[in-house]
Amino acid sequence: MFDVITVGSATVDVFVRTEFCEMLKGRERCVAYPVGSKILIDELILTTGGGGTNAAVALSRLGHKAAFLGKIGKFENSHRVMLDLQKDHVNTSLIVRKKNSRTGYSVILDSVKHDRTILVFRGSNNDLRFNEIKPSKLKTKWFYFSTMMGKSYDTLKKLADYAGKKKIKIAFNISSYLAKNGIPYLRPILKRTDILVLNMEEAMLLAGKGNIPNLLKKLHKAGPKTVAITDGDKGVYAFDGLFFYHAKPHKVKVVETTGAGDAFASAFLSAITRKNDVGFAIKLGMTNAESVIQYHGAKNKLLTYNEALRQMKKRPIKVVKRKL
């Protein structure tokens, strides 16, 4: 029996730091590279990522028996993904590997003020079929769903139905790819979701514009028992059907933000499984995310549970709680 099975993408991530030009295109700030030129790379970092594997490693380091379910290839990039997971004691027996599968790949370009531009090749992340999964192996207390598209989204819906029949709880961490489709599109999963985590941009794409309490209420009404919205340096907002929560982050040196959302969401879930306390979940999630953003790579500085507790004691986070 697993504590959590994470379902989502797996990628090889290449972080590239080089010179670029900044320009405006309408209201968008863009990164530009001169056409026809050869540009030297100042720093190149190769690691693995993807919402599914990031969460699996985070949960394993936090002390949970975690497995990853996703689809990758059979060649060099897939081996890198497998080794990274096994190094952190994540069970890889559920991974689907086919001869013609392609492991996902991302190129992360350093951008303005430590933000980033990501070039994404989804590969077989979009092609996980339910008939490739053996339900007899899905013995777990929780599913953690990250964004899946194409055939893989259909599989998420079937896994949500399976979870309902087997009384498996669901944590759902979505991205803008899914959020832009709106609540009706996601309702088959949302109605079975226990914890929904997303950022402010995704919340507005999913539920429309509005003040934060109304956004939380609307998302909660769609099915999730607890909703958490992250909003960068403005902090985290959450709602459990009765109480509204808010906490602001510490000021830390931000090196790169890839994986921060995965670090928060997985630690939030970890805390709920341990104490069923939303305030504590916010603190643990923020502490994990603050660690990750100070380094390159989505997995490099994910914390163990004891490391996180020490950080929380050293740098407390205040959570404001009130009735909505």
Q: Which of 170, 130, 172 is nearest to 150 (CA)?
A: 130
Tokens (6 digits) for 95: 């991974």
- First vs last Cα of the chain: how many Å apart? 37
**Cα distances (angstroms) measured from residue 152 to each of 57, 91, 131:** 21, 20, 11
Does 232 map to a domain? yes
Local structure of 16: helix, strand or coil = strand
**pLDDT (tens digit per residue) in 224-278:** 999 999 998 899 999 999 999 999 988 888 777 777 899 999 999 999 999 999 9
Place of tokens 């928060």: 264
Range of the domain at 284: 2-8+50-102+124-323
**Structural domains in the chain (count):** 1
Q: Is 46 exposed, middle or buried (0-12, 13-18, 19+ CB in 10 A)?
A: exposed
Does 31 map to a domain? no
**pLDDT (tens digit per residue) in 183-200:** 999 999 999 999 999 999
Tokens (6 digits) for 79: 């081996």
**CA 234, chain centre distance (Å):** 19
**Cα distances (angstroms) measured from residue 200 to each of 15, 66, 128, 286:** 25, 28, 28, 15
CA dihedral 166, 175, 237, 170 (to 10 degrees): 0
Q: Which stretch of DSSP H or E encloses residue 64?
A: none
Does 155 map to a domain? yes
CATH value at residue 317? 3.40.1190.20
Does 245 map to a domain? yes
Tokens (6 digits) for 37: 């030129």
Q: Which of the four pLDDT bands, split at 50, 70 and 90, describes residue 24?
A: low
Q: How many helices and strands, by DSSP H and E, does the chain display?
A: 10, 17
Residue 306: CB atoms within 10 A of its CB come to 10
Q: Which of 219, 155, 216, 211 is nearest to 182 (CA)?
A: 219
Which residue type sits at 211?
N
Does 24 map to a domain? no
Does 44 map to a domain? no
Beta strand pairing call for 71-72 and 96-97: parallel
Does 242 map to a domain? yes
Q: Against a cut of 0.85, is the pTM above it?
A: yes
Place of tokens 């996601």: 186
DSSP bridge partners of 194: none
Res 307 pLDDT > 90: yes
**pLDDT (tens digit per residue) in 54-103:** 999 999 999 999 999 999 999 889 999 999 999 999 999 999 998 888 99
Mean model confidence pLDDT for the chain = 91
Q: Which of the four pLDDT bands, split at 50, 70 and 90, describes residue 106?
A: confident
